[in-house]
Amino acid sequence: MNGVISWITASEHWTGEDGVPNRLLEHLQYSFTAVVIAALIGIPLGLYIGHTGRGRFVVVNLVGAIRAIPSLGLLFVSVLLLGPRLDGDAAFLVPSEIVLVVLAVPPILAGAYAGVEEVDPAARDAAKGMGMRGTEVLTKVELPCALPLIFSGLRSGTLQVVATATIAATAGMGGLGRFLIDGLAVRDYTQMAAGAVLVAALALIVDLVFALVQRYVVSPGLTGRVGRASRPRNRRAGAAAAALQPAP
Amino acid sequence: MTWFLDHYSDVLSLAGKHILLAGLPLVLGLVIAIPLGWLAKRYRFLHAPLIMGTGLLYTIPSLALFILMPLVIGTRILDPLNVIVAMTIYTVALLVRTVADGLSAVPDSVNQAATAMGFKRVRRLFMVELPLATPVIAAGLRVAAVSNVSIVSVAAIIGVPQLGSLFTEGFRLNYTDPIVVGIIACVLLALLFDLAIIGATRLITPWQRVRRA
């Protein structure tokens, strides 16, 4: 453990391409890109499915099915099949990013869907009774009410991406995973463990940031912070929400 | 396909190891999660720390947790025990919340009736509360089973043999056949675990079938 601490605090590990700041930045870039693309696909689709009720069956099964597919295998197949068609760094980057997006879409989609599905029917009826049209109901009532679950979906998707981006170092990507994989290659356990500590810390910080952002963005009326009885949950949407846990 | 026919005995032996590495933590995790879930349900002040603490463990990426295990339990890096303990941690992390939710969903009237019939706390837990919470716990166990099968394959990176070894081997040889066989085998194994849990749940909750019929 002392070796790990001195590895992390050693100044030579904090400069250059192979330094902690650069690897962290790479890791954040890969993850951010994948989550943004996945959110652009998953959130509108989830809102649409939740609002119209069409394709509900697809969401519930898609989330379960993707969970069963091992990310390492998917990553390698993607790099082996797409890599030869691309040049330079893109040969590793593009296939890995595609896998990161593929893994992040289902939890984000399920979060958005479950969020809308779980909106209190009374609130929806009241909105309609007040004369709101379909899109108004969606943007003014369903979306704000769905925010907590949209955030859980985004959080799950992001943690999944951060974890898989670590593994992607085996397929030639940069990021904090490099310390784990390069350490393994030269049997330097200290470096591997130091990398693992950094990866774990990154995941915990990301989780914390999501919790904080959620606190400020979600209406206090929904989080129970203004003190109100919890409402009964829609059972089917509850099941979809339970499936939101990321695979580490 | 021909690759699989030439190597099916290797694949089967890897699948056997995979079943052990993913299945044993499922059993251990359930055994640990039941008392923890009960504590979280029984004592309000323990609820938040238990649920949040185990939730935080679940956010640690698998490769990092596998590599950190030797520091925590003093094993060697290649020891399969690292994978078993890490997977048990993930299983507990998922199940504590499920067990607490399942136990909380048992109607108060049932608990009061059991107490009135002379059931003491422990006997009531095992004879009344846990059986009634079984469908909820089983749903959580299914999620844990499917993700365990998928996560275990990551351990191939640190050299612990199981179906994931087909991925690293295929990637090293620049050959997709073993990888595709490995993915299919993992998905089938996840399905097998899922069906086994569904079957076991049906067996131990016969009243559910009666209610449905």
Q: Which amino acid is at A58?
A: V
User: ipTM of the assembly?
Assistant: 0.88
* B81 falls within a domain: yes
| Domain of B91, in residue numbers | 2-207
Q: What CA dihedral angle connects A244, A245, A247 and B1, to 10 degrees?
A: -40
**What's the token pair of residue A95?**
């296939």
Pairwise CA distance, residues B63 & B86, whole Å: 10
How many structural domains comprise chain A? 1
Domain contains A216: yes
First to last CA, chain B: 44
Written as six digits, the tokens of B54 are 């185990």
Residue A247, domain member (yes or no): no
Rounded average pLDDT over B126-142: 92
Range of the structural domain that residue A139 is part of: 2-223+234-242
CATH number at residue B19: 1.10.3720.10
B146 inside domain: yes
pLDDT at A242 over 70: no
Contact B68 A167 (CB under 8 A): no
163-202 in B: which are within 8 Å (CB) of A? 163-164, 166-168, 170-171, 174-176, 179-180, 182-183, 186-187, 190-191
pTM comes to: 0.87
Number of domain units in chain B: 1
Could you say which of B59, B150, B166 has the minimum Cβ distance to residue A159? B59
Share of chain B above pLDDT 70, in %: 98
- Judging contacts by C-beta atoms under 8 Å, the chain A residues touching residue B164 are 70, 72-73
Check CB contact under 8 Å for B61 and A80.
Answer: no
Task: Please count the residue pairs, one from chain A and one from chain B, whose beta carbons lie less than 8 angstroms apart.
Answer: 147
The whole-angstrom distance between B182's CA and the closest CA on chain A is 7
Residue B119 — φ and ψ, nearest 5°?
Answer: -75, 130
Q: Is A163 helix (H, G, I), strand (E, B) or coil?
A: helix
Q: Please, which pLDDT band fits residue A243 given cuts at 50, 70 and 90?
A: low
Mean pLDDT score across all residues of chain B:
91
A210 shares contact with chain B (CB less than 8 Å): no
Summarised one tens digit per residue, pLDDT across range A118-175 is 888 888 889 989 999 888 888 888 888 888 899 999 999 999 999 999 999 998 888 9
CATH of the domain at A179: 1.10.3720.10
